[in-house]
Amino acid sequence: MSYRREFGWPTEWSDQLNIPWRFRSQYFVQGAAKIICLALRCVYPAPASTALDVREFGAKGDGVTKDTTAIQAAIDKASSAGGTVVISPGKYVSGTIHLRNNLTLQIAQGATLVFSPNDEDFDPYEQLPYKISGSREKTEAQVSFVNHLPAERRRLSVPPAYDDTETTYFHYSLLSGDGVHHVAIEGTGTIDGNRPRRGGPKPIGIRNSEWISVRGITIRNAPNYNISFLATDHIEVEGVKLLNGYADGVDTDGCRYIRVTNSYIDAWDDAVCPKASMALGKRRTTEHMVVANCVLRTSCNNFKFGTETAGDLRDVTVSNCVMLRRDSGRRPLGGIAIESADGSNIDGLAFSNISMEDVIAPIFIRLGDRGRGMEKPAPGSIKNISIQNVVARGASLASSITGIESGHVVNVSLDGINLTSMGGVAARDANVPEVPGKYPEADMFGELPAMALYSRHVDGLTLRNIKIHAAEPDGRPALILDDVTRLEISGFDSTNAPPHQPVLLFQNVAGALLYGNRFSSAADVFLSIRGTKSSDIALRGNDLRHARQAIQQSAEVPRGAVSADADRGASSH
């Protein structure tokens, strides 16, 4: 069984077993873990080896007959003893199939589960465990969802909810699980959503469950979130292919202990989208998530947390991923998008070894104050974010890290970022609106006054080994930092020399250290400093031979706010 074979056991058990340090070799710990696994079989018994073919229960697999009842009968039979149901080669038309405990559903090579074209063959939306008071009938997101549907399908009843319909409802799915455990969906077969557009059931919708594995399968033409989990723990998505999904690829909402690995995801909306919504009428943290070794193709965001952010997000790593555009449609809006809009506290996210191509804005970090699902809106927090070893080519919007006046982003580190921007934009006003309640998206501010990175309301920003190149000459500063404290910049280099503009622009920056930076092209000014709150800015050991002037200060900058060693260029007001 995949869920037993692939979910490993923590090596920390060697501590719990009081194993002496001198005996804690790799082999001893593995042996102890195996013994414990054997003991746990009495708690989580292994399914029987019996495999039931759905054809034995009357399924035709002819692409015409609706095989829902036969497939369900096989699942119910297998679950009673713990076993495997095989979808053998053929084309099986089906409505909602209910997953059961201790089940492996194996979709064989050459087998395709096809959505019934009739929506009434799928379970209706479930009754929500809460009610929204007031006269509002539907959220804006729900209205938008219904408007996506063709006219003949807009009759669907959509009860009021905190979040959009796709986020909220799970019974309206092909493979539906609610309160199940130890379920594996695997094989090299296919699920076909059988829809030409967005608006329809989910291929896989599972909530309130645990120990779920989805391995190896292909999902095509999904009209809703391809693989969607709510309040589910111990999730494995491994080696899947999601093709031409009209909505999100993999969504994990209020889930814990998640692995998404070795997968190819091609979706019109967000490719991988953890969130923490109010779909259950309460907040639940999304945490302990690994995304690794994936190709993520999208017309929206390659990896995004949000925008449903009522609950918290913490302890997430994303590594060794390629982020691309789809073959058709618009370019990806954001590569890495981290958004707290509804009071979410985001803490401990690490991204590494990422390659992006044609992503509009490679990095977007936004702390806002929309307040969905909150009696009194208040900002959450974003802190302890690490992004390293990123190569991004073809960016056309600046990356941004922005908090709001009443809530700052805290402790963000960018290290080893190699960015090629399309460039070709003229200098513009550096004033950017605050808009704390606006829907968070990488293009929410329009064209930013910085070419590569705009950062505002940040406490603790480290920029190391940032290399910037513009494909076309650009009139904007490479970096603009506004209301940033505890700043460190080292190993920075840019080949773009904006005429009559500084390479770096600081507005009310306090507590900054710049060292080991250089500039490869001739520039008028390396660093321009503005704002009455500017203080404690130090430049040490920078190679600024190509800058006519190292530091330029506006008249309002307090005297003594800036100190520099023998960097070329004079400090002047």
- The two three-digit tokens of residue 60, written as one number: 């035709």
Q: What is the mean pLDDT of residues 115-137?
A: 78
Whose CA is closest to 68, among 39, 96, 46, 88? 96
pLDDT of residue 49: 54
**11: pLDDT confidence band, cut at 50, 70 and 90?**
very low
Q: How distant is the alpha carbon of residue 417 from its chain centre?
A: 19
Q: Is 340 buried (19+), middle (13-18) or exposed (0-12) by CB count in 10 A?
A: buried
Task: Average the pLDDT over 555-571 and give the result.
Answer: 79
Lowest mean pLDDT among 76-85, 141-150, 199-208, 229-238: 141-150
For the chain, the distance separating the N- and C-terminal CA atoms, rounded to the nearest angstrom, is 71
159 versus 32: which is more confidently predicted? 159
127 versus 71: the higher-pLDDT residue is: 71
Picking from 23-27, 243-247, 388-392, 406-410, which range would have the lowest pLDDT averaged per residue?
Answer: 23-27
Q: Over pLDDT 90: what percentage of the chain?
A: 75
Which carries the bigger pLDDT value, residue 129 or residue 506?
506
d(CA 498, CA 427): 8
pLDDT for 286 equals 98
pLDDT in tens, 448-489: 999 999 999 999 999 999 999 999 999 999 999 999 999 999
pLDDT category at 132 given cuts 50, 70, 90 is low
Distant-in-sequence, close-in-space partners of 16: CB < 8 Å, separation ≥ 6: none
Query: Is it the case that residue 193 has pLDDT exceeding 90?
Result: yes
Is the per-residue pLDDT at 303 higher than 90?
yes
Structure token digits, residue 568: 């070329």
Residue 346 CB contacts under 8 Å (≥ 6 apart), including other chains: 305, 309, 312, 313, 314, 338, 340, 380, 381, 382, 383, 385
3-state SS of 94-127 is ECCEECCCCEEEEECCCEEEEECCCHHHCCCCCC
Identify the pLDDT of residue 373. Answer: 67
Average pLDDT over residues 172-176: 98
Cα gap 500→40, rounded to integer Å: 70
Confidence class for position 154, pLDDT limits 50, 70, 90: very low
The reply to whether 523 falls in a domain is: no
What is the rounded average pLDDT for all residues in the chain? 88
Return the pLDDT at 220: 99
Ranges 123-132, 216-225, 336-345, 359-368: which has the least confidence: 123-132
* Range in 3-17, 173-187, 314-328, 417-431 the model is least confident about: 3-17
Q: Is residue 70 part of a domain?
A: no
What's the rounded Cα separation, in Å, for the pair 399 and 547? 25
Q: Is the pLDDT confidence value at 571 over 90?
A: no
Least confident of 151-155, 271-275, 371-375, 408-412: 151-155
Strand partners, 273: 251
In a domain, 10, yes or no: yes
For 280, the token pair is: 């259950």
What mean pLDDT do residues 493-500 have?
Answer: 87
pLDDT, position 240: 99
Average pLDDT over residues 283-304: 98
Tokens for 202?
């989910």
Does residue 390 lie in a domain region? no
Is the link from the previous residue into 307 a cis peptide, with omega within 30 of 0?
Answer: yes
Q: How confident is the model at residue 36 (pLDDT cuts 50, 70, 90)?
A: very low
Rounded to whole angstroms, the Cα distance separating 340 from 371 reads: 10
The pTM is what?
0.86
Q: Does residue 227 form part of some domain?
A: no
pLDDT at 370: 87
Residue 539, pLDDT score: 98
Instruction: Give the position of tokens 């809006």.
Output: 333
What is the pLDDT confidence band of residue 570, given thresholds at 50, 70 and 90?
very low
Task: Classify residue 140: in a domain, yes or no.
Answer: yes
Residue 423 has pLDDT above 50, yes or no: yes
| Count of CB atoms situated within 10 Å of the CB of 16 | 10
Q: Does the pLDDT of residue 112 top 70, yes or no?
A: yes
> Using CA atoms, how far apart are residues 349 and 384, in angstroms rounded to an integer?
7
Q: Which stretch, 19-33, 152-166, 368-382, 460-474, has highest mean pLDDT?
A: 460-474
How far out from the chain centre does Cα 37 lie? 33
pLDDT at 137: 39
How is residue 310 annotated by DSSP? S
The yes-or-no verdict on residue 33 having pLDDT over 80 is no
139 is a domain residue: yes
Domain limits at 31?
2-40
Give residue 19's pLDDT.
42
Average pLDDT over residues 531-541: 98
DSSP conformation letters of 51-102 = EEEGGGGT---EEEEE-HHHHHHHHHHHHHH-EEEEE-SEEEEES-EE--SS
Distance CA 99, CA 211 (A): 13
- Counted domains in the chain: 2
Least confident stretch, 147-151, 225-229, 286-290, 349-353: 147-151
Residue 448 lies in a domain: no
Tell me the three state secondary structure of residue 528.
strand
Strands 334-340 and 361-367: parallel
| E strand spans, 473-522 | 479-490, 493-494, 502-507, 510-515
- pLDDT number for residue 439: 92
pLDDT at 48 over 80: no
The rounded distance, in Å, linking the Cα atoms of 105 and 353 is 34
